[in-house]
């Protein structure tokens, strides 16, 4: 059973997946080395970008929240009264999925 779960998680036989990952890593590593890439610089750049993105998201959270609340209020002006009238006219049995 554990082997079936592992196969589903990895997308195939664990040994086969490991061999494909090793081969792909060697090929990509060769290409990156040919263009002068350094694994340490790649990791630093990745984490720097993730950090910058997270920082920007935190900085923009207030703006995003304000925008979402305004969209919610704008939509609710039309949606809630329409829903309320619909429920009054058609009632629970015909208008809803209940």
Q: Which of 87, 88, 76 is nearest to 96 (CA)?
A: 87
CA separation for the pair 23, 37 (Å, rounded)? 19
Output the pLDDT for position 77. Answer: 83
Long-range Cβ contacts of 87-93 (<8 Å, 24+ apart): none
Whether residue 12 has pLDDT greater than 80:
yes
Over the stretch 16-54, which tens digit does the pLDDT of each residue have?
Answer: 988 998 999 998 888 888 888 888 887 788 778 888 887
CA separation for the pair 18, 3 (Å, rounded)? 15
Over the stretch 60-90, which tens digit does the pLDDT of each residue have?
Answer: 787 878 888 888 888 888 888 888 888 888 8
Q: Report which DSSP code applies to 35.
A: T
Output the pLDDT for position 19. Answer: 92
More confident residue, 2 or 29: 29
């Amino acid at each position: 059973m554990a082997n079936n779960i592992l196969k589903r998680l990895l997308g195939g036989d664990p040994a086969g997946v490991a061999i494909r990952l090793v081969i792909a890593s060697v090929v990509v590593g060769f290409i990156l080395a040919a263009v002068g890439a350094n694994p340490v610089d790649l990791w630093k750049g990745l984490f720097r970008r993730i950090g910058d993105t997270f920082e920007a998201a935190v900085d923009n959270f207030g703006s995003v929240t304000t925008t979402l609340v305004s969209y919610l209020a704008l939509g609710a002006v039309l949606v809630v009264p329409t829903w309320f009238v619909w429920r009054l006219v058609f009632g629970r049995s015909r208008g809803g999925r209940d």
